[in-house]
């Protein structure tokens, strides 16, 4: 998980001044879940390309999906 202070900085950067600590924790949880899913899909792409290592382009491709 990311430090909660980092999540709070991201939220503030988005222009949000008021957010509960529970909401920050939930954003953190969802962010971690999305990151895990992203990494899994990128690993499939790397494997399909005959590589064991996920590269920056794998992440970009998966992130642009949807």
The per-residue pLDDT for range 15-66, each reduced to its tens digit, is 999 999 999 999 999 999 999 999 999 999 999 999 999 999 999 999 998 6
Check residue 34 and give its pLDDT: 96
Position 13 pLDDT exceeds 90 = yes
Check residue 62 and give its pLDDT: 96
pTM of the predicted protein model: 0.80
Q: How far apart are CA 35 and CA 41, in angstroms?
A: 10
Q: How far apart are CA 7 and CA 30, in angstroms?
A: 11
Q: Does domain 37-66 have CATH number 1.10.20.10?
A: yes
């Amino acid at each position: 998980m990311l430090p909660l202070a980092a999540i709070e900085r991201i939220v503030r950067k988005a222009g949000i001044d008021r957010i509960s600590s529970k909401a920050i924790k939930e954003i953190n949880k969802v962010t971690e879940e999305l990151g895990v899913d992203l990494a899994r899909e990128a690993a499939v792409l790397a494997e399909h390309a005959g590589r064991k290592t996920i590269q920056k382009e794998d992440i970009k491709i998966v992130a642009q999906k949807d």
